[in-house]
Structure formats: C-alpha cells, structure tokens
Amino acid sequence: MITGFVWVISAISLMLGIAIVCWQVFGYLWVGEWRAISVIDFMQTSGNVWALRPARWHMLHEFLNVMPVSVALTSIALLSFWILQIQHKRK
C-alpha cells in the first residue's frame, strides 16, 4: 500500500519537475527572458509564512531561495524511485 503511494508521489514529482522546465523554456522562447522559480518562490505562492518571513533557519531559506523547484522535484522523484528499487530487490 505505501509502496503504491510512494510511486504516485514520485511520478507526480517527476512530471511536475519536467512540466516546470517546459513552462520555463516556453516562456524563454516566447519573451526571451528566463523565469527562474526557486523552492522559496513556490512556497511563497502557496502562502507559507516561513517562506515569506523566516524567523529561524536562515541558511536553509537562502539555500532554497537559489535551488530551482524543478531540480528539487526531480531529485525527490529520483531518490524515491531509487529507494523503491532497493526495497524491491530486498524482497
């Protein structure tokens, strides 16, 4: 049951990461300007208070502010697929 859930989350993360890159490429080809979207930008649009005004963990905030959300989502997906592969081999 949990394996299926992890597969779904991994697939959604991978598709979102690829979709964001495609949207950025389309915007670049249309306007001629690359629109970078960081993890913090993504969190701010969802109304996350910490992303708007961090009281603690300032260095994590700075790191997430320069990390592209597409890289983060793709990394989560690949890491999840890798963990599932290892778990499947142990059975």
Total domains in the fold of the chain: 1
User: What's residue 83's pLDDT?
Assistant: 87
Q: What are the CA-CA distances from residue 25 to residues 16, 32, 65, 78 (Å)? A: 14, 9, 20, 22
> Average pLDDT of each block of 10 consecutive residues along the chain (91 residues)?
81 93 94 93 91 93 94 92 84 69
Q: What is the pTM of this model?
A: 0.77
Structure tokens at 55: 């009281």
User: What's residue 56's pLDDT?
Assistant: 93
Structure tokens at 63: 């790191």
Domain holding 68, by residue range, is: 2-90
**β-pair partners for 68:** 38
